[in-house]
Structure 1
């Protein structure tokens, strides 16, 4: 008979054996990063617009991502339900029509029950969807599901569409860990590799996928998954052996170099972190602190044609009441504020009085693209007051940004707007040029 006190030791030993087998298995070198270069048209006029991608005012909405579909069309995905972690959370989507400049009605892409039936295991909740169009014109959707425990018990599921999101494959769960396949979450944009064209910074039809992920079980740390073109895990690489960071946003700098910006999850420094790779994601440097503050909140970054980066983040030590747009060089040494994308009317994020809230929030709602809901403003005001106000007053919340740059060279940013909507901002290089001091 095995003594009770020996069980944890045996379990630890089993985990160690599985982990050693997983990590010691030979892994192929990664092909160079693929990149899509755009040269901005200097004659293009500055352009900026705000829209609300989601339309259901009843549910809590969170963790959006967006992908270009070609021709200026977009698809955004997010999770929505009674609250984060509730059993009724769904993965939803909407499509942006470049001709009409409007977002479509919402569509459900994945549910807890549907995922449960597809993967053959109990599913408690869903979260964090990520969407991206691959070089072979297949549209990938990755999202998180939890079978046991909290978010530390997560796994990543994949769906793919061959017709730009009209129809989707059955969800399939990625095998990312050697023991119970738990504690892998996705949040950052995928990166595509130029397999077969090593050294050439171009997309390749058979390119593999680099998927930034993170763990929350027995420590919080980021990793880089290498998937083949069919979405099967080929290898995994720890990003910098960090212990208090998660949700990496990876931006390739050339075919072999990339930087990962990391959300800080510790209790002391509250600074944005960065790690680098010079071998296409196989090895990463030790994370180091950067200039901007980070209050344990998600960050989004995207590359620009001149090699610099755009970064959207809550540059605060505490709270998520302000979302700021930054520009920085590829070395991440020189940070320049391009302006506040959204912010509380109180500079310290303190609640404002109930009497002031309706006028302030309605103005922000209209400026955010709420004109399409002009006939539902009373409903909006009721719902947002119930969600954002308490006995202490009313607060504002702008979080979980996600960046992409489409084939036409335009930037698209989506984020959670006061837990009520997924907000979409779009702008071009000419608009950014106006923000130079």
Structure 2
């Protein structure tokens, strides 16, 4: 049964637990997906995502909304990108040390993630107005999802993953690997550090620990576990990603370091082991008109698993740098049905692609996809997460 979501942007206490406050962000688009949050120095909270008819279709663009300081209602969504020939996806916000706000996103042809490039634009007034759109990374197949990390030495680290294909085959995610782009000149130029043996590990999310070590968590194309890597030399090299105790369903995650030094993570507590069905690919509903490339046939190697339920949406806290996660609490529960991305007919029931940031008052700000119809905003305290740990 389809469900219609009311997207009025009003922040309200949850009817079951008033310590949880939620809102559905305003949007005029049938589909809304892939949120990223950023608290800003003026006290506002900004959220960006992509919206349009359906992921992979050329009317998908980047949108943004703002929760002003002291306000209980998110602003009407503003369209922040516009390329009628490409699907513009996975926006990321980054506030540089000079207070210039960056917006980065991917732009691909149809469902072919191996055609993606990374674009950006900048704002000098915290996103009230924006400069021209330009290309940041032009190597086809370059994808982003997670924010830039600034180190004490001044270097910027931008995690990327490369969507690779064999000649004559469509992209399905079987050959994706991760890397870190490093800039020593405030984003003007970038060099590449590949993560060793990272096949299938994507959406690399870097966070800085109190001891100066860098930790990265990854989504898994194999839909088995969240993976973990670390760097002790400012991101110049990374350990081979290894599975954590946490499951992953080949959907996005996000982690952040709290003021306490603990890590807070949002993710789907689900893997392929909980799946009853399997999709051919993420874009198997889209006809791009290109019959020259076929979906690859399964061989002896591992293949990306699509269709594992995207639910529940869970928040977890770690006190040991991401090695263990003793505190977990669900934000939303359901069947997480994602065998289709169809939002026009309201067929999808996933909770996915979360973002998490901590405010100056300690509040956890979280946003994620709700049924691919809306971006849901939730705010809770770390204490709330720990109080009823699963």
What TM-score bracket applies, with the shorter chain setting the length?
Answer: 0.7 to 0.9
1:53 aligns with 2:39: no
Q: Offset of 1:406 from its aligned partner? A: 3.1
Relative distance call for 1:132 and 1:53 in structure 2 (3 A) is farther
1:192 aligns with 2:150: yes
Among candidates 199, 213, 223, match of residue 179 of structure 2: 223
Relative distance call for 1:216 and 1:242 in structure 2 (3 A) is same
Task: Find the residue that maps to 2:323 and give its secondary structure.
Answer: coil
Distance 1:208 1:192 in 2: 6
1:137 aligns with 2:99: yes
Relative distance call for 1:151 and 1:50 in structure 2 (3 A) is same
Q: Offset of 1:94 from its aligned partner? A: 0.6
Distance 2:344 2:111 in 1: 32
The corresponding residue for 1:101 is 72
The corresponding residue for 1:328 is 318
The corresponding residue for 1:239 is 195
Q: Offset of 1:98 from its aligned partner? A: 2.4
Contact 1:256 1:277 in 2 (8 A): no
CA offsets 1:116-143 (integer angstroms, 9 cap, x no match): xxxxxxx432111111222321111000
Q: Offset of 1:256 from its aligned partner? A: 3.7
Distance 1:413 1:250 in 2: 17
Q: Offset of 1:426 from its aligned partner? A: 1.6
Relative distance call for 1:70 and 1:434 in structure 2 (3 A) is farther
1:386 aligns with 2:342: no
The corresponding residue for 1:405 is 358
Q: Offset of 1:54 from its aligned partner? A: 3.1
Q: Offset of 1:148 from its aligned partner? A: 8.3
Q: Offset of 1:221 from its aligned partner? A: 1.1
Task: Find the residue that maps to 1:54 and give its secondary structure.
Answer: coil
Structure 1 alignment gaps of length 5 or more:
1-45, 114-122, 196-206, 352-382, 389-394
The corresponding residue for 2:83 is 112
Q: Offset of 1:402 from its aligned partner? A: 1.2
Relative distance call for 1:224 and 1:47 in structure 2 (3 A) is farther
Task: Find the residue that maps to 1:142 and give its secondary structure.
Answer: strand
Task: Find the residue that maps to 2:98 and give its secondary structure.
Answer: coil
Task: Find the residue that maps to 1:387 and give its secondary structure.
Answer: coil
Q: Offset of 1:248 from its aligned partner? A: 0.9
Among candidates 252, 267, 273, match of residue 313 of structure 1: 267
1:274 aligns with 2:228: yes
The corresponding residue for 1:67 is 38
Among candidates 234, 239, 257, match of residue 213 of structure 2: 257
Distance 2:258 2:111 in 1: 40
The corresponding residue for 1:5 is none
Contact 2:220 2:227 in 1 (8 A): yes
Relative distance call for 1:54 and 1:222 in structure 2 (3 A) is farther
The corresponding residue for 2:274 is none
1:160 aligns with 2:101: no
Distance 1:386 1:147 in 2: 24
User: How many pairs align?
Assistant: 325
